[in-house]
Structure formats: C-alpha cells, structure tokens
Structure 1
Amino acid sequence: MQLIHVVPHIAAEASGPSYSVPRLCRALALRDHKITLSCLAAGQQIPEVELSLHSSWPILKTFGISTDHTNWLRHRSNHVDIVHNHSLWSMVNITAGWVVPGRKAKFVTSPRGTLSEWALSHSRYKKRVIWPFQKRTLEMADLLHATCEEEYDDIRRIGLKAPVLIVPNGIDLPVPHSRAPSRSNDRTLLFVSRIHPVKGLESLLESWSRLESHFTNWRLRIVGPGDPDYVDSLVSRAASYSLSRVEFVGPLYGKEKDAAYREADLFVLPTHSENFGMVVAEALAHECPAIVSHGAPWSGLDRERCGWWIPNSVESLTQTLETAMSQSEDELQAMGVRGRNWMEREFSWDGIGQSMEDGYRWLLEGGSPPDCVRLD
C-alpha cells in the first residue's frame, strides 16, 4: 500500500504524537508499505519513511495554515491508497478533510485524545470558531482510529458514525535489566509527563502532603517540561505544604529519562484526560509498577496485577499511594516484571503495525471486518 500520514509537526524530542506517529509510520514501512509523513516541521529523520515538509503562514501560527501543504495533499491523494490524518484543530488536519474525500485515497482520522470531555472544555473559543470546519473532517472520514475503548466512546458520544479501528500506541521496549537490591532503604515515587493542569499535579501534591511524614524513606520526583509560571505555582504549593522530599527535576530525555524509570520504585499519573498515556507504557516497559487515574485508559493495570487504576480524587490517590508505598521492594519488583511482560505481549510496534495494516486492508478491500474494527 501507498500511505500518507499527516501530522502538524514532529518535535525533536519524541513524545505524544511526535513519538507515536513516526513509530507507527516506521512499523508500517517495515511491513513493505510505502510511507510518506507530511508535516510543517520535523526535528528528526525517520528510517524507511519519506518526509514531506511544508511551509506555513508567518501569521496566525497557532492555526498551522499551509497553502503549500494543502495543494500538495490535493495532488498526492489521487495517487495513494490511504491518507491517515493524526490529531485535530490544526488547519493542517482540517484541510485534509476538505481536499482528500472524493479522490482516490481513503481517508482515516485519529483524534489522538482531542475529543475527550476534558480536552473539549479547554481553549473553547478557538474550538468554537474552528468546529464547523473540523466537524467536516471528522464526518468525511472513511475510518476513524481510536487508541482505546474510552476514545471510541468519545467518538460515538459526539455522534460520529464511521467505523472505528481500535489500535493502541506501541512502545519501544528498552533492553531488559536486572534491578539490583537497594543498598539503602531509600525509595522513589516518580511522575513523568508534561507539567500541565491536565496532569493532576495539584492532587498529587495534596496527597503527598498527607503521606510524606509517614513514609520517611520515600521521595517524590516530578519530571517533565512545563510553562515556567505554572511550574513556579506548583513549587509554591509544595512549599505551602512544607514538603521536604519533592524534587522538580525538569525535562529528562534519552538515557537520563531511562535512568529515572529504572531507579524508580513506583510511577504515578493522576491525569484528568489522556487518550493513551505513553509514559505509563514507558514505566511498565522499565519494570516500574504504576498508579494511574481513570483519566487514562489503563484498566489493564488491575487485570495484569502490575499497578492500580483508580478514581480521579485526592482521597483515592492518597489511599492507593499509602497501599503501594507499604509494599515490600520484592512485591513491587514482581509487579514491575508483570508489567514488562504485558508490554512485550500486547504493545510491540510490530503487532501494532499488523493491526493497523489489517484495518487499512479491510477499508480498501471490504469483506468481514477484523476484530480491531468496530461497526456499532
């Protein structure tokens, strides 16, 4: 198959769609498909994938308007099998829904978490202005892609009727490592993600304030980039609680981020809304058990006995942290091993590429839908 994937931009340090979309493209390329990734900017090359970069208007940059991209996509969609559009709200994504339908290519759209109730409630003015144009992009899709059942529910909640392909993101599995027994009794609770109000850090700090004095050998490390003013507000909040073992590390990348996962005993993400939560998969791949709120689609943590999937409240978070931090080092390590096994079994990029290919082939050839496609 000849496939075009569209995303507004690919950051140099891969996270979110900047991680998942290039990895998906490469997984499909390794299955002998011809892949072009079209975007406005890319901070990285992608092996086996052709990059098509386009200039954008110097004004209204927040909207990502690119006449160059629109014209290119209008022409190329007559010569490929599928155009797969990732994310919403950028004009790069919106115009795809206006120029691709009616041409040779079938049109697939991945909302990438942008249709959750929490996401729709933020930046309301911009979204209200754009919605009539964005709605067409969604309604004209031949196939919608969700990364989890919760995102499938979001798609149906707003009335979209197209078939939905449910395929999670994959994870690059780090080289397995043996966790050596701790030389000291010091333990680490780790948060890794964007420092943003959606991530629930206020709840985390409040819960930690209730527990810090009872777990004197534990520390909380908060890792990730964020708006400086917002980060300062969290630092001030921690100071108001008189917390002494909270560390705001800032962003870590590559080997430094891997080391943070390896050195942690427990991972936490009390988020309000995620369509996947790649950092959860990263933690589990590093054999670190996880506590994740219902704002992210990780109900399997309970089933696989590698963490806790909990209601999004301070009370629930506090109780679960108390339970988890009371576990022995051996118990937490056993949970971590089960999490790693789960990632190997269900989230390898080869398997994700196979499922996506199955959905594409059904879209092009018809017949009985594969198990990953929902028609209801």
Structure 2
Amino acid sequence: MPAIQVPEPALHHPTPSQRSDPPIRVTQVMAHLSRQSGGVFEAVLGLAPALGDRSRIEVRVLGLDHPEPATDHLVQRGVPTQAFPVQGPSSFGYAPRLGRVLRDAAPDILHVHGLWMYPSIAGMGWSGRPMPYVVSPHGMLDGWALSNKRWKKKLAGLAFETRQLRGAACLHALCASELTAIRSAGLTNPVCVIPNGVEPEPTPRTAAPPLWRRDVPAHASILLFLGRLAPQKGLPDLLRGFARERTGTAGASAPSRNWHLVIAGWGEPGYCDLLRDTARDLGLGDVVHFVGPQFGEEKARTFAEADAFVLPSVSEGLPIAILEAWAAHLPVLMTSRCNLDIGFDASAALRIDPEPASIAAGLQQLFSLSVAQRRQMGVRGAQLVATQFSWPKAAESMEAVYRWILGRGSRPDTVDI
C-alpha cells in the first residue's frame, strides 16, 4: 500500500477576486451528532471550526439527534449547529425536518459526511435546482466495510447511495488507499485527497490521572486502545495476541509482564460482552481493563497516562485516534490498513498484521524497547502531526476544493480527475 503523500498547500493569500467575492456558505451534514458516531463526528468537529476560522467561509453543521448529543461541542467552537429528531429506526435516521431545512438554507455548497443513511437522501434533494455537493465516505467504501452488512448496503446503493455518490461534484478521500477504493467502486468523479487533522497539544502527565487509573496497578505500563468497539477494529485478535505474548508463545520476556491493556471505547452491548468474555476466557481478567468511553478532558488524560497505543484494525479511513496518540507523543502499534504508512516510514509506528501471531510479535518488539526508545518514537509521531496533519491545513485544502467547484479558483493539486 502506498504511503500517504500530503501536498504542501501554499500559504493562503486571497487574490483580489477572492477578496471581492462574497463568502462561501458551506453546510456540512452528517448522521448522529454524537460522540457515538466515532471518527466521523471527530472529523466534523475538527474540520468545521477550522473552516469557520477562514475569512471567506461561513459554515454550519446539520445532523441527527441522539440520546447522547454533542452539538454543544461544535457550538462552543463557533459553528452554528442543528440536530433533528429521527422518525423510525435510528440506523437509517429518517429526519424529515433535516430535508426541509436543507432546502430552505440554500448554501453555496453542501458537504455530506458518511454513507448509507437518510442524510445522503436529504443531500441529493436539498435544492430544487442542481447544486454542487461534496461527499466524504470516511472509509465506508473500503472492501471490508462494503462486505460488512453487505445486503443492507446493496439495498441502500440501489435505492439512493450510488446515485448520490455519482452526482457529487467531488468525492473526498482521506488517503491514497481510499482513493483506490473509490475508483474500485466504479466512481469516476473528481476525488480530492485530504487527510484528517488533529489538535496537536497533548495533556501533560502532571495533569490529574483519569478515573480508571486507580483500578490499574500503579507500577503498570499502559498499552491503550481507544475508539469504537466494533468488528473492524480487530479487538478479538488483539486480545489473543496479547495472551499469546504473555504466555510465552511469542517468546515473552519478563518486562512484558508489567504491561496492562486498557480498552477505552463504546460499542453494541452484545459485542462488548463478547470482548469481555474473550478476555476472561484467555485468562486476561487481571491485565485487561475495559474503561468505557473517554471524551474531552478525560480522553486527553487517558492519552497522557498511556505508554503506547495500539490499533489492529482490518478496515479504516484514516483513524484520528492514531493522530491523537502521536500528538500525545505515544509510540504506535498498527496495521497497514490504518492507511498511515507514513508512520512506518518515519519510525513513529511498528507494523503488525490483523491476526494474533503478528500482533504478539509486534507486542514483543514494542515491550522490548527501552523507555527512551519509545519516547523517541512518540516524538517522531508528534512531529508528523505538527507538519502533516493539522486541521487548519485540512481546512485550507478543502476551501481550495470548494472554490474550484464553484468556479472561483483553479483545480488544486489534491484533486484526482
């Protein structure tokens, strides 16, 4: 898989025509406006305010209501945000008021985040006349993602999603491999390749520890997983690999006994129960800790308390959790399917495959590193974030795409046609 090549955008100096143009009014639409939407919400939470900070952009966010809402996080960052009640199954997210508000809002450009739900339909019908829109699939066209709940997605594709994707003025890929997945799906639209960003300021270890820390031995080193607890994250294989390393199948050394695995996140109750049962059956009850969702300040403290980060995913777009781990100066253990091979090239991450033997070998390699070596890896990751993965840089690149679509600028280098 090719490493991400992130073009260096030019510094933003508006041309005379840009200074005289009216601001571009952008409406971003996603499914549930909740932290439970995982990386899609985190991406909107980072991109929308960064766009709003730009002088010639006016941005608002619309989405679906949720029992655990997070609209305040966007509003506090100066982004007008509305969540609409859902009628019927939440998995589809039918919200008729969302469609009506979109039709009345008349923005210059619409940006839809995610696939397979009612916001895609609302996005196609947001105006009575043809208007441009951008679609960010967020990894949902990856081969594994398409095979998961395949019949539901086939029906959605026939009913609306294929038409919505083909009608987009531009599709947004997070990385080179997502561009490949989009092309493999038969889509010939222009595609811009713009990675996610992250906030680069870690919480210092001098901050108060997270609440879960009191349940983990004070001497323990912490290997952290943080994210949605879902099949594509490879957690059963992580547990099996962790057990294999500890029992010596991979040649475990004494220092590895000091490591505890902290799994922070949320998911379907039945799947979470399966993971807990797996950990118990593997004899990991004392060294694996399920600590629940970590958001906001508590998430920052969790990263600050960790010694390394792991993501054994079988399918991703471009995981913000890894960027957050690098921002927190953590060494990372990850698969190539995380689409951040630039981390391997920069020696900020160790490579594993999503299967127990490879994970066990990767854990052994990680655990054998000295504290100084792990810190050096973390520093290299932080440097990557600072130079390649900032939200202001992503917003600058996205504004250039919007301007090109609206005929206010030339085609950016980020766009593949």
Displacement after TM superposition at 1:329 (Å): 0.4
Residue in structure 2 matched with residue 34 of structure 1 by the alignment: 58
Say which of 217, 224, 229 aligns to 2:265. 224
CA contact (8 A) 2:329 2:378 kept: yes
Match of 2:82 in 1: 52
1:298 and 1:309 in contact (8 A); partners too: no
TM-score (norm 2): 0.83
2:33–2:70 CA contact under 8 A, matched in 1: yes
Distance in 1 separating the partners of 2:176 and 2:395: 19
Give 1:127's match in structure 2, choosing from 153, 169, 174. Answer: 153
Residues paired across the two proteins, number: 369
Instruction: Provide the secondary structure at the position in 2 that maps to 1:170.
Output: coil
CA distance in 2, matches of 1:14, 1:128: 22
Q: Describe the shift of the 1:56–1:253 C-alpha distance in structure 2 as closer, same or farther (beyond 3 A).
A: closer
Q: Which amino acid aligns with 2:137?
A: P
- The one of 322, 345, 360 equivalent to 1:318 is 360
User: What residue number does 1:206 align with?
Assistant: 240
Q: 1:5 maps to which residue?
A: 28
The aligned counterpart of 2:403 is 361
1:286 and 2:286 matched: no
Higher relative CO (Cα under 8 Å, sequence separation at least 6) belongs to 2
The 3-state SS of whatever aligns with 2:267 is coil
Between 15-24 and 326-335, the greater mean CA deviation after superposition: 15-24
Relative to structure 1, is the Cα distance of residues 65 and 13 closer, same or farther in structure 2, using a 3 angstrom cutoff? Answer: closer
Task: State whether residues 301 and 309 of structure 1, in contact with CA within 8 Å, keep that contact through their aligned partners in structure 2.
Answer: no
Alignment of 1:1-376 (within 5 A): 1-11=24-34, 15-32=38-55, 33-41=57-65, 42-45=69-72, 46=74, 47-57=77-87, 59-77=88-106, 80-100=107-127, 102-103=129-130, 105-132=131-158, 133-175=160-202, 177=204, 186-213=220-247, 214=252, 215-243=256-284, 244-365=286-407, 368-375=410-417
**One-letter amino acid of the structure 1 residue matched with residue 257 of structure 2:** T
SS for the counterpart of 2:71 is coil
Q: Which runs of 5+ in 2 are unaligned?
A: 1-23, 208-217
In structure 1, give the amino acid aligned to 2:81: L
User: What root-mean-square deviation, in Å, do the aligned CA atoms of Structure 1 and Structure 2 show?
Assistant: 2.3
3-state DSSP class of the match of 2:338? coil
Deviates more, 1:80-89 or 1:251-260: 251-260
Q: Post-superposition shift, 1:366?
A: 6.4
> Once the two structures are superposed, what CA deviation does each residue of 1:241-267 show, in whole Å capped at 9, x if it has no partner?
222422222222223322221222211
Distance apart, 1:164 and its partner CA = 0.5
Is residue 195–residue 389 contact of structure 2 (8 Å, CA) maintained in 1? Answer: yes
TM-score between the two structures when normalised by the length of structure 1: 0.91
Percent identity reads 33
**Could you tell me how far 1:154 is from its partner in structure 2?**
1.0
Q: Is the CA contact (8 Å cut-off) linking 1:8 and 1:93 kept in structure 2?
A: no
Name the CA shift for 1:283/1:327 in 2 (closer, same or farther; >3 Å): same
Shift of 1:281: 0.9
Q: For 1:284, what is the secondary structure of its paired residue?
A: helix
**Counterpart Cα distance in 2 of 1:161 and 1:222:** 40
Question: CA deviation digits over 1:197-222, x for unaligned, max 9?
Answer: 21111111111111124321111111
Structure 1 unpaired stretches of 5+: none
Q: How many Å apart are 1:177 and its aligned residue? A: 3.6
